[in-house]
Structure 1
Amino acid sequence: MTIEFPHSIHATQPSEQWLTDPSICAVNRLDAHSDHAIRGPQGESLRHSLDDSNGTWHASVVYHDSSLLERISQANIQASAREFLTELKEPISKVRVPGHLQTDGLFPHQYVNQQYPWDGHAQLDAPDIPEHNRVGVYARDFMLSPREIAALLNSRDGLGERVHLTFDGAAIALYVWVNGVFIGYAEDSFTPSEFDVTDVLREGVNTVVAACYEYSTAHWLEDQDYWRLHGLFRSVHLDVIPAVHVQHVHAASDYDWHTSRGLLSGTIYVNSSQTAHVHIELLDAREEVVYDEQYMLEQGSSTFELNATVQNAHPWSAEDPYLYALRFTVLDDTNTVIEKSHTRLGFRHFELDPQDHIMKLNGKRIVFKGVNRHEFGSDCGRALSEEQMLWDIKFLKQHNINAVRTSHYPNQTRWYELCDKYGIYLIDETNLETHGSWCDAFGTVTEHRAVPSSRMEWLNPCMDRANSMFMRDVNHASVLIWSLGNESYGGEVFVHMSNYFHEHDTRPVHYEGTTWNREFEHVTDIESRMYARPQDVEAYLIGSSELGQPRKPYISCEYMHAMGNSLGGMKLYTDLEKYDLYQGGFIWDYGDQALEQQLADGSTRLTYGGDWYDRPTDYEFSGNGIVFANRKPTAKAAEVKFLYANVKINIAEDLSVHIVNDNLFTSTQNHVFVARVLIDGVEQWTHNYRFNIPALSEQTVRVDWPDAQLFDGKEMVLELAYTLGEHTAWAHAGYEITFGQRAIALPERPVSEIHPSAHIVEDYWNIGLRTAQAEILLSRQHGGPVSFKRLNQTDDMVVRTPKLTTWRALTDNDRGYQAGFTRAQWLAAGRFAQMSGKDFAIDRKNGTITGTYTYTLATAAHTPVTVVWEVDSSARVHLTATFSGNHNEPSNPLAFGLEWMLPASYTHTRFYGLGPEESYADRHNGVKLGVWSTTIFDDVQPYLLPQETGNHEDTRFVELTNQFGHGLRVSAHAGSTFAFSALPYSSAMLDEATHQEELLAHTHTFLRLLAAQQGVGGDDSWGSPVHDEFQIDVTKPVILDVDIELI
């Protein structure tokens, strides 16, 4: 059951030397074991939880000194928790367990990505740690009544029961005492630390003390990109261990897809203080027994082998997560039940095929449509509740995400149970990252400083972490791949870790770090890279990279850096699924890491690094999620949902519908296809269909679309949506999984136009046109309208004359590739453009006026722009803005169009275009063409750092109105489309703010009308620009062509 290294030592007294000795990671800690559930004879829980958020735990913060551990060990063993802490002579606080010392206000907050938290404060020289080392000392009392002590401590009557105290998660180094007696020491924040406390418990009040250190050598191994949080952040509990106890279960539940047989094998480890026998049953989901067996046990430790075949087994997959229950009933010689325990299994065969180098599940090539996921909540840090985990699971399923990499540590046990139940594939990752030890701020590799590398003093803690994860999680069907850790370079330590997994299990081993040191690439079975650009991934797949012909399957263990307004160009990656060796990727990442902070006025904001005066810090680099930290979906999630869908729907030009079903095992027969016809964005017809398309096949199906001649309008949109046909555990019947659309222009029908009379006034400064309802003034001086309003309203649509814009509020990705430097001229280009010419035409016969304004942009090449405001006799405006293109400009603009300031009362938006979420040139697949209603406030995506937001591509019209329905309607002219945003903030305001709450109170509405805006990118956020095809080519003309009218 154990591996061949001294992962835990024995000691009766604590030592501060363990904090600085990397080879010592556990003292008196019990061996890791599987997380199977243990129950008493009647199925009752044998667990006594010590979790409490209501103040039964207290804590004080002290700085470590050479006497601290001795003082704790010599405290009065009769002292209560509060009395004990009083002796430390530091303030005492009530704290939550599970929780963090930071979120309870006792430790300072700090977020860093790659650098170690003490970089610049203390020398970085592994294994040294900072001298100033905070310690959170927890204490809690719990009562054991005479009845409870008798039940718990039968071992003193010779019956052999034991009591274990377990900390499921404690950061970052943990010392434990119970009733004044030193119990043990443990590192590895993310796997259980379990100790035998049987001999120190007593009737009445018992006191547990836990000292959580801020720093130890373990910190060198836990340099993940996250908030550095400490304390008891997972459950703490006492468990009664019966006299005969199933200690560990290693059950391999293989599946032979040729014969539909389930193959159950493995080893069961039992500790027994007496002779007994174990009854084993395997039950299906209907709780019908499909296998049972009896095993006799002798006194002492026993092992026995499982070996069973289940005919017609129901296989497990993310598409159909069918689970069996493996139950163990331990009985004594009189057939009295001593213990009941169980674990859940899924029959599935996962392999890396040695012939074609493809990973396969139950014989089928798998594609991971995944995300990296930190355990995180804005209100609780990493102390997630089951409710939060369940929200995450349902979100993943609803957005067609089938896989999670547990970046970069083992998650709570409950997470694996939920992934087994709901169907999520997992890369289970060892708690190991040392990025800051071997790579500096400029990406320079300092191999001689790398930890763990080939330094054998680090072997024990690394092997211990791998073993602890493996032993706990070995039986989970959802775990398909073991990962050695993250961004920790290469070295012999990883050879040992990889060999360990291969010796004990058949699942593939993953490790990306060897891409930095190809000498050790044999430790990983998978070619795994981070943030490789699509063309570089394709080069590997077709054999044109420096590695030659590919010998391993490829996954992008991190890709699409979703920082802020990002995730542009994702389709370039999902298109690579056409290559068999490309087996998907994991977006970075699932959720923003932002912590709630209460402000002086009582309001709450979401914070990033530096907001707590933490230094060093990496600021907003923690905001990379497709959901916000408060678990509200971002607009980016719609793109993920569409591109990750296993069913693809294409409506062809001849109106036939081609459906591809990429599910590995599931047909479409239990789903409903909903056909719709939209005329000018409004639904006019719908009909439901059922098509039975087998897994891994495609068909062209018939939909009886109605005749276009039946409808009046300019455009018909055909839509076919794929929806759930029945309720599931993660969504209700009717939930839309994906869709396909095709827009068709309808034949124009003659419309008789009435041209009302208009009064035109031509004067020195302005040219005015007035009708019975409206008035507009074109200024000779200001380059456009200075007034546009209804005659019966006081509000004017023009606060200031609309201005040219060639800029946008920089996104995180823009900043990352230094667009502020390389594109700086475009910030000034439109804002400070010089009007170089103007011309006015008046047609009194037809009642029209035209103002043509020529501008010279404030750029290196002085590119000209022409803006024409043509007003007809009904006060309807035809606006064109033409960017002529210029080969002499040094860079591409970020946008081109006009920014219009309107009164603050115009807050309601209705538009016909891609929505309802924002969209961009490289992120628009997951939005639909239709008519959508929103407000200028709801269209602001609250990215951690304010930036470009709210854009809508392929717009046919937008209406911006006040509460009475009056306002502007902007329509695409003559079959063109445009992009727009309508927000309470200008692009300059968004550019200047560093937090959402810094944005000024709403004083105006800002309407951006754009001919084009470049995409948002997402290959990474530190150097990769937006792909060329999603930029605005400065050498080519760009034209904004719209009609504007008052409504």
Structure 2
Amino acid sequence: MKFNRILFGASALVLASPALAKDAPRVQPVQIDPSRPDWENPAVFARGKLPAHATGFPFESRAAALAGDQARSARFLSLDGTWKFALSPSSDATPAGFEQPGYDVASWADIKVPADWQAQGFDQARYNNITYPFPANRPLIPHATNPVGSYRRDVTLPAGWSGQDVILHIGAAGSAYDVWVNGNKVGYSEDSKLPSEFDVTRFVTPGHNTIAIQIHRWSDGSYLEDQDFWRASGIEREVYLMAAPKTRVNDIFVHAGLDAAYRDGALSADLSVSPSAKPVTARMTLLDGDRTLLVRAQAVAAGSTGRTVTLAAPVPGVKPWSAETPNLYTLLIELVGADGSVIQATPQRIGFRTVEMKNGLVSVNGKPIVIRGVNRHEHDPETFHVISEASMRRDIELMKRANINAVRTSHYPNDPRWYALADEYGLYVMDEADIESHAYMDYANNHQDERAKYQIGFDPAWKDAHVSRVANMVERDKNHPSIIFWSMGNEAGIGPNFAAAAKAAKTRDPGRLISYLGWGTWPGVSDHRPNDYADIYAPMYDSAEKLADYATNWNFKQPVIECEYAHMMGNSGGDLKEYWDVIYAHPDKLQGGFLWDWVDQSMYRYTKDGRRYWGDGSEYGPNPGGEIEFGDGLLQSDRTPNPALYEVRKVYAPIQFEGFDPVSGRVTLRNRHDFRDLSGFAFDWEVQEDGVAVAHGTLPSLTTAAHATDTVTIPLGGIARKPGSEYFVTVRAVAKPGAVPLVPTGYVVGWEQFALGERQMTAATPAGGPAVAVRQAADAITLSAADATLTIDRKTGLVRSYARAGTLLASGGAPHFWRAVTDNDIGIGTDRQLAVWKTMSETRTVRGVTRVDSPDGGAAVRIDYDLGDGAARFQSIYTMARDGAVTVTGALDPVRGDLPPPFRVGFAFALPTDITTAEWYGRGPHESYVDRKTSAPIGLWRGPIAAQNHDYIRPQETGNKVDVRWMELSGAGRGLRVAGDTPLMMNVLAFPYADLDRHTPGTWKSTDVVPHDQVTLLVDGAQWGVGGDTQWSDVGKPLPKYRVPLAPTHVTFRMAGFAGKGTTPDKAHEATATTGED
């Protein structure tokens, strides 16, 4: 649906794209003009709204409340479903009078609610990062290019609702909207990610009613919603009417902490009770499952004003809540009439826990915690921002299985169901206000002497808007035990508006901590900028080196929890282990962080023949977010893992193994949980010989306390070790039934692999048979032995053919110094810095092709290349032995010292397309790189060649395997074996490697990367890691130890043909691009 339908004013108009805010935002805000519409007045962000309150519903009975299904309540009427809809191209061309019941909307389109209208075929979705999707001239919005969606729905009120107040609930819509009932203006609201409620009692009538909502795509509120995500519009969360009793509890604030000894619970509930003509009783009941633990009640006298009633009680011996032990209780709040009848019953799921700063660290229930977190946008590949509960539950399931224990709701309050699931299954939450003014922040960061002029946080006209967004978030979410931080927003600068917002949050809820950065990123290793109104220092994208600098600088007292780190754009996730080595080395100051981020923001798109691919912003028109802003998730948008997820799972493991002694078999086990012992886990081990399991067993049950270590012994004495074989032992911690929510029994929570000493090499037996025959022609040299032939082209220096029994196995063998650039390579500029090596890979000059004598009856051919007019040289030598095997040696000699380093040093071969299966002994099953390999154990792996590449949103380098001892590529009854005396990097792909090269945005998708023409085999002695600390600065490059130096570099391996399926096809484990380590 590339067209943009306009349902009001024209039948099929294409919206004009507004000018993009690429230039400096307006420095001096315009004078606030009360005559302008509400959606251009920052002083107006709500009219007619009821005060924000905790999530809850006024059920009509105790039984209904405990069942907890508001959809089945007699007081609930869903307005989700089909509405009539018209989209106007501008804010000055809206349908006048459409809110009146008599206005005929029969010809209007139907639209689903909830839904972003761009997902329903209306208007153009946009993906923006930093740049506003309109000229930045706060608080003004261009009228001509501001689409407006008008919604209408008729509804019949249930007969039993008379005598009660009727409340209209809109879960989230934006960016700004007006509401009418039966033609009467009810109210106005901004903040696209929080609910609004309106008392419509005086506007509704028994029976038929008309509800109208008009949404402005852009408003002054959009200046505070400049997040790095899809800019989509509409009603994004549920809409309903509810009947509320005249006398009711409007709000509940539950305080469920622990006493000073962290043993017993301290429970209180502040109830905001409406005015009442008759006395009532407020009652709270605490239940553990079906068991009543306590009941407290208090009489509430009749009165003409509302009042706050507090019910409190100690709760001895509670089961505390933490992300590791998410123990929940049900608190039932009731209002009871004088006759004992229940007027209202509202349940709250609560957890007893205390959040505080203790000994300078973020502590839960008296113990410092470590945040193994991730940022999460609400994203669906079909519906943009409208997320189903099933999708939320799947996200949490995958997080728990990846050892993630915390989520930052980047960068806005999420659907309320998300927090309930986090409560239930155990995730710490940093709840973030819907505030980001990134463009103004960036511009001010570049003009720091005039910061107060640029950043909205300094503008008093916007103070109340900032405070309101934070305060309303706090009110809605305050009863969720999972939330331990309130975040004031993201990348919106600093200023007194944020100090006021933080004060408001802390005043209302002193039982949680405040987080906010506001600065963005700063390059200096020692440039640290904590805010005094935050409890923690939450920088973004500080390197491991910078974290260590902060941790060892005693001028800084706040603990560090990075709000964003390790930018997972495309093929990324390098040096994650190095990050956590530093974090674990400084437990007195460093407490973890939130990875960026959880899920790619790609969309389902389809080719003309129906094949699905990942659509990015280029599919939807101009994309000011850049070419590669969409794919920085640990998951693809359909929740298929990206390979970096496996690395996160490994590094985040709360059970780790270290200090292995290969002689005694002793290994130290470290419990990195913050609360639980290890009684919920079983432990086993396996020894493999050359990748094949030869022994296994279980270890004793352990009750190792949190943060403690134990030593276990693996019985290795009975394992005979063969000369020439290699041995590894893998030890694992697996979940027992119910040990970790949503994690199945037997699931591997943590593991490590250790070598059992050095490999005992044996002398190779010289090949027998006749000496290698050499045939020299004017255009080629051919070596022949046994049933193998190798032909080298004299002009190109490449292998014309390496064949066995007359059947082609491989050709090519081009020296290879370049890789298909990753998103990080592009964003950082490494592709441009190293571009000369692409040229030298493609335009090498052959200086000579020479036959070289070889001992033991072999023969060799040497090829000498000049690269870049003599800037470097490369020498290839192919040596055939009597058995037809070929040893390949490559040597790079950089002549000029001013060259940049190469991306890789190796060879590229082409294999026939009927070679379809790869088997290898090395790291697997998924792709690995020198700085992202800890999650890939050494083993024996086998899988389809066509399944070895990962379909990143933008095709790029993929499929590499490191520490490969040998690889066999087979099909049609024969194959090619490639092996090295030292571990190699290998990559086998079912298409030419050039298919992964960078193309013009929008012209080359994952569906264009399909098996064809050839199988590509890359054999490298060295290649850069993927990096990824950032994606826009040199900090994001791989660490120096993971780069290829500009120095003489060698690579050597052997090739040989074979008949059949390979060496051990029945013993290898399955391997594809998305196979984890289980």
Instruction: Give me the TM-score of the superposition, normalised by structure 2.
Output: 0.89
Pick from 395, 399, 423 the counterpart of residue 396 of structure 1.
Answer: 399
1:244–1:441: structure 2 CA closer, same or farther, 3 Å change rule? closer
1:532 lines up with 2:558 in the alignment: no
Contact 2:298 2:311 in 1 (8 A): no
One-letter code aligned to 1:337: V
Per the TM alignment, residue 519 of structure 1 is displaced from its structure 2 partner at its CA by: 9.6
Q: Deviations over 1:852-896 (max 9, x none)?
A: 22222227x622222211111111111111224557143111111
The verdict on how the C-alpha distance between 1:444 and 1:936 changes in structure 2, with shifts beyond 3 A counting, is farther
Worse-matched range after superposition: 526-535 or 801-810: 526-535
Give the superposition deviation at 1:847. 4.2
Task: Give the deviation of 1:464 after TM superposition.
Answer: 1.3
User: 1:605 matched to which residue of 2?
Assistant: 613
Indicate which of 764, 770, 787 corresponds to 1:757.
770
Q: Within 2, Cα distance between the matches of 1:492 and 1:448?
A: 10
**How big is the shift at 1:162?**
0.9
* Of 365, 369, 374, the match for 2:372: 369
Paired with 1:106 and 1:630, the residues of 2 have a C-alpha distance of 23
Question: Is residue 668 from structure 1 mapped to residue 678 from structure 2 by the alignment?
Answer: yes
Please, which of 827, 834, 837 is the counterpart of residue 816 of structure 1?
Answer: 827
Look up the match of 1:955.
964
| Cα separation, 1, equivalents of 2:765 and 2:1043 | 41
Equivalent in the alignment of 2:10 = none
What is the match of residue 98 of structure 2?
Answer: 72
Is the 2:91–2:147 Cα contact (8 Å) retained in structure 1?
no
Asked if structure 2 preserves the Cα contact closer than 8 Å seen for 1:489 and 1:516, the reply is no
SS in 2 for 1:830: helix
Give the secondary-structure state (helix, strand or coil) at the position aligned to 2:591.
strand
Change (3 A) 1:837 1:554: same
Task: Name the residue aligned to 2:187.
Answer: 184
Name 1:34's counterpart in structure 2.
Answer: 54
Q: Is the 8 A contact 2:445 2:451 kept in 1?
A: no
Q: Choose from 929, 946, 964 the match for 1:937.
A: 946
Map of 1:10 onto structure 2 = none
Mapped partners of 1:676, 1:519: distance in 2: 48
The CA distance in 2 between the partners of 1:887 and 1:359, in whole Å, is 53
1:757 to 1:1038, Cα distance in 2 relative to 1, 3 A:
closer
Contact 1:425 1:479 in 2 (8 A): yes
Q: CA deviation at 1:440?
A: 4.0
CA contact (8 A) 2:541 2:1029 kept: yes
Give the aligned residue type for 2:837. Answer: W
Of 776, 790, 813, the residue aligned with 2:804 is: 790
In the TM superposition, what is the alpha-carbon distance from 1:598 to its structure 2 partner?
A: 3.5
Say how many residue pairs are matched: 994
* Matched ranges for 1:478-517 at <5 A: 478-506=482-510, 507-514=512-519
**Counterparts of residues 815-854 of structure 1 (less than 5 Å):** 815-842=826-853, 846-854=856-864
Please say if 1:385 is aligned against 2:388.
yes
In 1, Cα distance between the equivalents of 2:479 and 2:469? 17
Deviation at 1:346, TM superposition (A): 0.9
Residue pairs, 1:15-94, within 5 angstroms = 17-41=37-61, 42-43=63-64, 45-46=73-74, 48-53=76-81, 56-65=82-91, 68=94, 71-73=97-99, 75=100, 77-78=101-102, 83-84=104-105, 86=107, 92-94=108-110
Query: How far does residue 709 in structure 1 lie from its aligned partner after superposition?
Result: 1.5
Q: Does 1:866 align with 2:871?
A: no
Q: Distance in 2 between matches of 1:959 and 1:569?
A: 29
Matched with 1:1022 is 1032
Give the gaps of 5 or more residues in structure 1: 1-13, 87-91, 156-160
Cα distance change, pair 501–898 in 1 and its aligned pair in 2 (3 A): same
1:741 and 1:65, CA in 2 relative to 1: closer, same or farther beyond 3 A?
closer
Q: CA deviation at 1:821?
A: 2.2
Match of 2:120 among 104, 112, 128: 104
Q: Which residue of 1 aligns with 2:714?
A: 703
Offset of 1:376 from its aligned partner?
Answer: 0.4
- Superposed CA RMSD: 2.4
Residue matched to 2:925: 916
Counterpart residue number, 1:8: none
Q: 1:972 aligned to 2:998?
A: no
SS of the residue corresponding to residue 523 of structure 1 reads coil
1:541 maps to what in 2?
551
Give per-residue Cα distances to partners, 1:603-662, cap 9 Å, x unaligned.
333211222113544332121101011111000001101111111112334332111111
Task: Supply the distance in 1 between the matched residues of 2:892 and 2:355 (Cα, whole angstroms).
Answer: 56
Secondary structure of 2:458's aligned partner: coil
Matched, 1:414 2:417: yes
Contact 2:452–2:495, Cα closer than 8 Å, also in 1: no
1:65-214 map, 5 Å = 65=91, 68=94, 71-73=97-99, 75=100, 77-78=101-102, 83-84=104-105, 86=107, 92-119=108-135, 124-144=137-157, 148-149=158-159, 151-153=160-162, 155=163, 161-214=164-217
Q: 1:62 to 1:515 in 2, by over 3 A?
A: closer
Q: How far is 1:987 from its partner?
A: 3.6
Q: Does 1:986 align with 2:992?
A: yes
The residue that corresponds to 2:736 in the other structure is 725
> Deviation at 1:306?
2.9
Quote the Cα distance in structure 1 between the aligned partners of 2:825 and 2:1049.
Answer: 23
1:255 aligned to 2:258?
Answer: yes
- For 2:696, the aligned partner's letter is T
1:515–1:521: 8 Å Cα contact kept in structure 2? Answer: no
The superposition leaves residues 740-766 of structure 1 with CA deviations (integer Å, 9 ceiling, x where unpaired) of 101234534678676233662422244
Partner of 1:1003: 1013
Letter in 2 for 1:30: L
- Deviation, 1:130, is 4.5
Q: Distance in 1 between matches of 2:615 and 2:1040?
A: 34
Preserved CA contact (<8 Å) 2:444 2:451:
no
1:569 aligns with 575
SS of 1:737's equivalent in the other structure is strand
Following the alignment from structure 2 to structure 1, what is the Cα–Cα distance between the partners of residues 621 and 93? 31
Partner of 1:405: 408
Secondary structure in 2 aligned to 1:528?
coil
Q: Structure 1's 310 and 85: CA in aligned 2 closer, same or farther, altered over 3 A? A: same
SS across alignment from 1:622:
coil
Q: Structure 1's 428 and 118: CA in aligned 2 closer, same or farther, altered over 3 A?
A: same
**Kept in 2: contact 1:914–1:924 (CA 8 A):** yes
**Partners in 1 of 2:783 and 2:520 — Cα distance?**
68
**How many angstroms apart in 1 are the aligned matches of 2:911 and 2:343?**
76
> 1:549 and 1:846 mapped to 2: Cα distance?
69
Cα separation, 1, equivalents of 2:264 and 2:1015: 65
- Which shows bigger deviation, 895-904 or 689-698? 689-698
Alignment of 1:669-688 (within 5 A): 669-688=679-698
* Matched residue SS, 1:503: helix
Instruction: Between 450-459 and 554-563, report the one with greater CA deviation.
Output: 450-459
Aligned residue in 2 for 1:89: none
Distance 1:70 1:779 in 2: 78
Deviation at 1:431, TM superposition (A): 0.5
Contact 1:59 1:85 in 2 (8 A): no
Whether contact under 8 Å (1:171, 1:232) holds in the other structure is yes
Report if aligned partners of 2:723, 2:760 keep a CA contact under 8 Å in 1.
Answer: no
CA distance in 2, matches of 1:442, 1:713: 60
The alpha carbon displacement at 1:51 in A equals 5.0
Deviations 1:515-556 (A, max 9, x none): 78999922212112111222122111111xxxx611211111
Structure 2 CA distance for partners of 1:750 and 1:457, relative to 1, 3 Å: closer
Inter-partner Cα distance in structure 1 for 2:411 and 2:317? 37
Superposed displacement of residue 1003, structure 1 = 1.8
| Aligned 8 A contact 1:24 1:460 in 2 | no
Pair 1:605–1:825, CA change in 2 (3 A)? same
Question: 1:642, 1:945 → 2: CA distance?
Answer: 26
Distance 1:441 1:605 in 2: 39
Q: Equivalent residue for 2:748?
A: 736
In the TM superposition, residue 823 of structure 1 has moved relative to its aligned partner by 1.0
Cα drift, residue 298 of structure 1: 2.3
Distance 1:441 1:822 in 2: 29
Deviates more, 1:624-633 or 1:435-444: 435-444
